[in-house]
């Protein structure tokens, strides 16, 4: 019976970790998405300096959690997000509203998809 309890505990632990991972990835990327939206609003108000500062802050947050993203997500997806950040930062620096809006929207969608992949849903399992 000891073996059964160990195996059941391990399964429960894995299930718990996967649920926590889903919640954490959603919370983390949710905050980032919200900040990127805020940066876009600032850019629309022609406050490019603050828009760049907010975007750079989100980028630094992303870089600080590089280990987490790299160990739990597919590297191709995280690399794409990294490329998205670099593009958005370049457009915000150049103060190009059209390209910035498009690149920012693309980055927000990529972050959303990244978290969605980890969500405990029937659609994902199937």
Of residues 12-31, which lie at the interface with another protein (CB under 8 A)?
A: 14-15, 17-19, 21-22
Site membership for another protein, residue 64 (CB under 8 A): no
Residues 26 and 91 sit within 8 Å (Cβ to Cβ): no
Q: Give the count of residues interacting with another protein (CB under 8 A).
A: 28
32 and 62 Cβ atoms separated by less than 8 Å? yes
Nearer to another protein, 4 or 64 (CB): 4
* By CB under 8 A, residue 53 contacts another protein: no
37: alpha, beta or left, given left = phi > 0 and alpha = psi -120 to 50? alpha
CA distances to 30, 47, 59 from 84, in Å: 16, 21, 10
Among residues 31, 45, 56, 119, which is the contact residue for another protein, using CB under 8 A? Answer: 119
Q: Is 67 in the site for another protein (CB under 8 A)?
A: no
Task: Output 41 or 70, the one with its CB closest to another protein.
Answer: 70
């Amino acid at each position: 019976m000891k073996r059964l309890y160990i195996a059941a505990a391990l399964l429960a632990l894995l299930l718990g970790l996967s649920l926590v991972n889903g919640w954490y990835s959603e919370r983390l990327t949710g905050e980032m998405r919200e900040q990127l939206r805020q940066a876009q609003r600032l850019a629309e108000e022609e406050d490019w300096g603050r828009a760049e500062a907010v975007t750079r802050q989100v980028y630094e947050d992303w870089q600080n959690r590089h280990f987490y993203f790299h160990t739990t997500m597919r590297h191709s997806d995280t690399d794409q997000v990294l490329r998205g950040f670099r593009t958005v930062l370049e457009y915000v620096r150049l103060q190009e509203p059209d390209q910035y809006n498009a690149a920012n929207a693309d980055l927000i969608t990529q972050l959303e998809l990244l978290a969605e992949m980890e969500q405990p849903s029937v659609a994902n399992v199937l």
